[in-house]
Amino acid sequence: MNTSTFSVLHRTSQIQKLKTEVFDLAIIGGGITGAGIALDASARGLKVCLVEKNDFASGTSNKSTKLIHGGLRYLKNFEISLVRESGSERAIVHNLAPHLVTPQKMLLPLVEGGTYGKLMTALGLKVYDFLADVKGDDRRKMLDKQETLTQEPLLDEKTVVGGGLYAEYKTDDARLAIEILKNAAALGATLINYCEMTAFNYNANSKIESLNCTDINTSEVFTVKAKSYLSAAGPWVDTIRKKDNSINKRRLHLTKGVHLVFPFEKLPVKQSVYFDVSDGRMVFAIPRGRVTYVGTTDTDYSGDLDRIVTTQQDANYLLNAVNNTFKTVKLTLNDIESSWAGLRPLIHEENTSASELSRKDEIFVSKSGLISMAGGKLTGYRKMAYRALETVLKTYSKEHNTSALLEPTTATISLVQPPLNSSKDIAAYQQELTDKLLRIGISEAYYANYLCRYYGKQADTIIKKIHDFESHNPLENLIRAEAWFGVHFEMVNSLNDFFIRRTGRLYFDIASIYKFKDSVTKDIALLLNWSSERTKNEIALLELALEDATTFYNEEFK
């Protein structure tokens, strides 16, 4: 597949297909779960459509810790099968997009009175390696006190007694979802963002026969027909089940996770660290280009599902955690550059705290035929898709010929074409990008790394487009070329789509938004033919996103 494949996904043609065709499977929700199901189903030969009420990956799938990880902490709760599955899956996803899912050494410092002792850590990491089938240099290594402090000098030498070094994988969750959706589109899936499923329509047997959907851009209402209906709506799964009158004791338990972003010079960790907090939880500190981000919290949530914010309590919790671990940094609220807050749609268990709830997924099937995929985690999206589709196929009646369907193939479908197949390929291509950017006046190494890690070889298309813009600032030409690419190839429909989900700039390069938002707004408004009123609304939504990323509220929005 090349980038031109996704360019055919213009809203008008996609909505026309939704109105007129009958699908094998209609998916509600365009996060990582819905994306994974759409790709697996399309690859098997099913006719698939997917509707998302906001932007693709705009909910939980843009608010994770941005790791494809094996879940070391799940060992603590003896969730052996979850660790095993996560461990094997992360290696597969890395192979599918090695530029986007990259190896990351994680340091687990051991401290006096901490959660993990030396013996238990050594044993736990060994079991972790075994369950996750970790090989070679990625296998765990135990460190003494001096080795640990050499690995990360910011740690407190008064409390550190040793450490463990193990392997994880870093990613960008929203871009992963977008690339999966682009592949589903290449295989024939009909996908649309900003299209809300508002109601179910039932036949005489109380079975779902169609969906009522509203195009958010035009307010047009139409119906979508399919043989099966699957909700992959994340935190909104129970909202969808209520529309179907199928909510029961098996329900979601929402918890909130917050991450804070600091300029790298304020928290200059040499590598990723997974460290103890005084309440017994664990928190990550992860360097990423210009910044280091820290998270996450884990608290029960009952506020507004559509606007999740960082409170002062959230920020102070993470600030205290960082300052207690890295004694010399002395971070304050004023040092925070950006933040994000998201929800985990976990399965409710009586008398179980937020941090102890399982991250396992579960499938609910209603009498009307609605199949709901709940729970789960980013790393397990392929296995979740497999389980969801197996449930879908079991509901098919005998007249549906499922024997002709292909076997699952998502373990071998490269997510970006042409692929970068190895770390050597990635390094060579990044150097190629460095040379090209130097020729147009961009010398900072950050940008070659950013383009390589976010787009893979699709960055060639962006580099070529840069020459069509004539600003004296080459960085402005670059971001405008990215915006053009996003509109033409990745269904960008708003400023927030571009600045948050497609490029991650709100979190990892917020200064570039303030600097270039006016020129990007003009370009996207022209490309999408926005009215002056629509443009004003989009600017207001971007300003709200900037406010939420940089403000610490007294309480949640209800």
366 vs 408, residue with greater confidence: 366
Residue 543 has pLDDT above 80, yes or no: yes
Quickly list DSSP for 201-247: EE-TTS-EEEEEEEETTT--EEEEEEEEEEE--GGGHHHHHHHTT--
Q: Is 443 exposed, middle or buried (0-12, 13-18, 19+ CB in 10 A)?
A: exposed
- pLDDT at position 5 is 45
Q: How confident is the model at residue 3, as a pLDDT?
A: 43
Distances (CA, A) of 390 to 125, 233, 412, 533: 33, 18, 19, 46
Q: Which of 268, 265, 243, 339 is nearest to 297 (CA)?
A: 339
Is residue 1 scored above 70 in pLDDT?
no
Q: Specify the DSSP class assigned to residue 112.
A: T
CATH level 2 (architecture), domain 423-550: Orthogonal Bundle (1.10)
Contact of 26 with 17, CB cutoff 8 Å: no
Answer whether residue 403 shows pLDDT above 70: no
Return d(Cα 87, Cα 94) in angstroms, integer.
11
Amino acid, single-letter form, for residue 260:
L
pLDDT at residue 244 greater than cutoff 50: yes
Q: What is the pLDDT, as a whole number, of residue 76?
A: 64
Mean pLDDT, range 405-432, rounded to an integer = 90
Which backbone phi and psi does 273 adopt, to 5 degrees? -130, 135
Q: Is the pLDDT of residue 79 over 70?
A: no
Give the residue among 4, 61, 1, 63 at the shortest CA–CA distance from 30: 61
Is residue 28 over pLDDT 60? yes
**What architecture (CATH level 2) is domain 102-170+253-355?**
2-Layer Sandwich (3.30)
pLDDT at 139: 85
User: How do beta strands 141-144 and 102-111 pair?
Assistant: unpaired
Please determine, for residue 71, whether its predicted confidence score (pLDDT) is greater than 80.
Answer: no
- At 116 the pLDDT is 72
pTM above 0.85, yes or no: yes
pLDDT bucket at 2, cuts 50 / 70 / 90: very low
The candidate with the shortest Cα–Cα distance to 231, out of 362, 344, 365, 372, is 372
Domain boundaries along the sequence of the chain: 4-60+174-251+358-395, 102-170+253-355, 423-550
Distance separating the N- and C-terminal Cα atoms of the chain? 44
Q: Which residue has the higher pLDDT, 57 or 558?
A: 57
| pLDDT (0 to 100) of residue 7 | 46
Task: Say yes or no to pLDDT of 307 above 70.
Answer: yes
Contact 385, 37 (CB under 8 A): yes
253-299 pLDDT, tens digit each: 999 999 999 999 999 999 999 998 988 888 999 999 999 999 999 99
pLDDT at 553 over 80: yes
Average pLDDT of every residue of the chain: 90
pLDDT of residue 215: 95
Q: What is the pLDDT of residue 359?
A: 67
Q: Residue 349 — pLDDT band, cuts 50, 70, 90?
A: low
Are the C-beta atoms of residues 393 and 384 closer than 8 Å to each other? no
Partner residues linked to 211 by β-bridges: 200, 224
CATH number for region 4-60+174-251+358-395: 3.50.50.60
